[in-house]
Amino acid sequence: MEKDILTCTRTGDSCIHVKHRSGLDIYICEMNGFSSIEAQFGTKYGSINTVFKTSSDSGYTCVPEGIAHFLEHKLFENEDCKVFELYAQTGASCNAMTSFDRTCYFFSCSKNYEENLRILLKFVQEPYFTKENVDKEMGIIGQEIKMTNDNPEWRVFFNMLGCMYHAHPVKTDIAGTAESIAKIDADLLYKCYDTFYNLNNMVLSIAGNISADKVLEICDECLHPCADKGLECVFPDEPDSIVRPEIRETQPVGASIFNLGCKCSSSAGLERLRAVTAASVASSLLTDPALPMCEKLLKDGIINSTFGGEVFYGSGYFTLIFSGESDFPELVREALFSEIDRLLTEGINEKDFQRIKKSSYGALVTELNNVEAVTNLMLSSYIDGISPYDTIEVISALTSADVMDFMRRELRRDRAVLSIIEKEK
């Protein structure tokens, strides 16, 4: 079992990668002098992974929407006790999250990291599902689904995805629906657990005031070796076109909100990272309050300080989203595409580009001195199929021509969806 030292040539920062004999990928960053420790134990399993097979399966298995999130909830309750009680005894905080493409279990502490790591590795490897505890969880998650459906920010986002994607499961709520989770039982949970919680499909990321040798010693003690199952996930064919360009809904909100999403081409690995980096800089150029377009929209009361952009991506989906509060979202849409047309005609101001690029680079370097950010970076890099320091290299090499090329290819009016939650009149 060899330690592979991964180093950022531009900053000198480094971390350790080990392919453990159990099959698990392990990333360790020793950050001496820091008081905190963060660890994440994750699997490449999220809400979009509803159709899959292993090398031993004769055909594909299709499972109900929301089962990845349901499984995450149930792992916190084993046969002997609840995991939160174990962490309460060590003084650590713990939690978990399921997103579209991953499920992660994590803890944060300032001491006792060895015991906390043992708890993390053990409970994630010890599922306990029964008809009784599954039925009990059904009601809890049903209430969670109802609460998110009443959340305006959640609704405006998923309404946008529903108008953007014809078939891709990213358009479905991470927790599923009341109807879909009703189909979940203990056998299905064990099937998904055995498939996706195979250590060859998982990663451990840990950073802070730790010893790499001690972490690996605990991994040797706690990890159960398993054979690679040859997991394959498939997604339905997704056309480049959108379903419809606009959707509106009325809710009792204090201010109308909107999401304006541009459906972009999907990719993977370093190619996707380059697209994400170009999209992020393009977003900043279009939402910077110091630049003329936003300055005018702010002055005219079309937008306020909530206006911003983000890149949303994963396996088979990629969207640049602009969002905020506005009573005039159609004017925001028109202003954005007019500004895109202007930039493509006149070119990007090199001074503005360099300022935003340096700011992005500086933010990345700053995060290397944050324990939680480093832990997130190592885990996300594994999920995305890249190296932890690739983002710094890619932003360093980015040019204004790269951003122009992305905007020309991807920020198109015919692939834009405007989702609006209007306040009641």
H helix or E strand, kind and range, residue 272: helix 269-287
Helix, coil or strand: residue 73: helix
116 Cβ contact list (under 8 Å, min separation 6): 37, 39, 87, 90, 92, 94, 107, 109
**Helical ranges in 197-235 per DSSP H:** 212-222
What are the tens digits of pLDDT across the range 174-189?
999 999 999 999 999 9
What are the tens digits of pLDDT across the range 145-166?
988 888 999 999 999 999 999 9
Name the catalytic one among 72, 77, 137, 325.
Answer: 72
Domain boundaries, the chain: 4-233, 246-423
Active-site annotation holds for 72 = yes
Q: Are 41 and 197 in contact (CB under 8 A)?
A: no
What are the tens digits of pLDDT across the range 362-397?
999 999 999 999 999 999 999 999 999 999 999 999
Confidence of residue 80 (pLDDT cuts 50, 70, 90): low
Say yes or no: domain 4-233 is CATH 3.30.2010.30: no
Confidence of residue 81 (pLDDT cuts 50, 70, 90): low
What are the tens digits of pLDDT across the range 206-259?
999 999 999 999 999 999 999 999 999 999 999 999 999 999 999 999 899 999
CATH architecture of 246-423: 2-Layer Sandwich (3.30)
State the Cα–Cα distance between residues 184 and 148, nearest whole angstrom.
20
Inform me whether the pLDDT recorded for 133 exceeds 90.
Answer: no
Residues pairing with 296 in the sheet: none
Q: What amino acid is encoded at 331 in this protein? A: L
3-state SS track over 130-179: CHHHHHHHHHHHHHHHHHHHCCHHHHHHHHHHHHHCCCCHHHCCCCCCHH
Same fold, 4-233 and 246-423: yes
State the Cα–Cα distance between residues 4 and 27, nearest whole angstrom.
10
Confidence of residue 85 (pLDDT cuts 50, 70, 90): confident
* Residue 1, token pair as written in the block: 């079992």
Q: What amino acid is encoded at 311 in this protein? A: V
User: Looking at residues 76-100, what average pLDDT do you find?
Assistant: 85
78 Cβ contact list (under 8 Å, min separation 6): 123, 126, 127, 128
Confidence of residue 79 (pLDDT cuts 50, 70, 90): low
Sort strands 25-30 and 103-109 into parallel, antiparallel or unpaired.
unpaired
Predicted structure pTM score: 0.94
